[in-house]
Amino acid sequence: MTAHGTTPPMATIRHRHIDTPLGTYVLAAGDDALIGVWREAQKHFPVVARLGEEAPQEHSVLDAAASQLLAYLAGERTGFDLPLAPVGTPFQHRVWEQLQTIPYGATTTYGKIAEALDSPRAAQAVGAAVGANPLSIVVPCHRVLASSGDLTGYAGGTQTKEALLRLEGMLLS
């Protein structure tokens, strides 16, 4: 990830829609890094101006992101190798960095992330940062559960979270 809160100049942001088994996703990137992966119409979907213009036929970052996302959803990949530059607060970046440490096929809780950040009483703030994650799936916020094990809060919908956990073998079909 890049410096906290930085974003490529608006003129360089481009986006692309891709159809996946989970619905249509919108990918957005600057010239050198992915800044967003959102399920169309999900909670926290960015304002259209933030997406920039439709990408040209070829865009190296969006091409790689689309290819890796489709391979992940097909069960052919367990992780992503992409340059990332999400925009957020320093606290959000700390939470998103913790999300990237959760292995494929594993889960954690909001409370455990708060503890890892040396803020054990910040589970709700962690939940808000997880919910605001602009790089869904790529930064695996779907792997975070409530302390009870419930599939709470997922910006792309709990059915999507359930499908992703099933794909990773954490839920029975």
Active site residues: 141
The Cα–Cα gap between 26 and 40 comes to 6
